[in-house]
Amino acid sequence: MPRILVIDDAKTMRDTLKDLLIPAGFDVLEAENGEKGLEVLGTQQPIDLVISDLNMPGMDGLTMCGHIKEQGYNTPVFMLTTQTSPDLKAKAKEFGVVAWIVKPHKDDILLGGIRKVLKL
């Protein structure tokens, strides 16, 4: 079962994503900020995909992506955020973010993107 790590400081958002992903056949791990996300990535492999918020207390999503890249993981990351700044998007791309999805997401678009990236 493909495994997805969901990182968002809002529990309601993590729950919403779990309610979408688990019935769709994914195993879901969660974390509440970038530090915790890195910890889960480091200890709970294999993880096939990360879906992360950008703005979180502690380590934000973009900083975390920099660390993911630096640490040599090639796990694809989807950024799920209210932010639309082209500068942030460009930086995210540099850090290996493969999809930038603006909240509120559409379930079918998110699932379609996940299946495409994971070649399911």
Residues that bind Mg ion (CB under 5 A): 9, 53, 55-56
Give SS3 for 54: coil
Count of residues in the chain: 120
Least distance from Mg ion to the Cβ atom of residue 57, Å: 8
Least distance from Mg ion to the Cβ atom of residue 27, Å: 23
Indicate the residue among 60 and 107 with the shorter CB distance to Mg ion: 60
Number of H helices, E strands in the chain: 5, 5
Q: Which of 66, 62, 26, 64 is nearest to 47 (CA)?
A: 26
DSSP designation for 63: H
Least distance from Mg ion to the Cβ atom of residue 76, Å: 20
Whether 6 and 96 have beta carbons less than 8 Å apart is answered as no
Indicate the residue among 93 and 103 with the shorter CB distance to Mg ion: 103
Least distance from Mg ion to the Cβ atom of residue 9, Å: 4
Indicate the residue among 48 and 53 with the shorter CB distance to Mg ion: 53
Amino acid identity, position 104: P
Amino acid identity, position 110: L
Indicate the residue among 6 and 56 with the shorter CB distance to Mg ion: 56
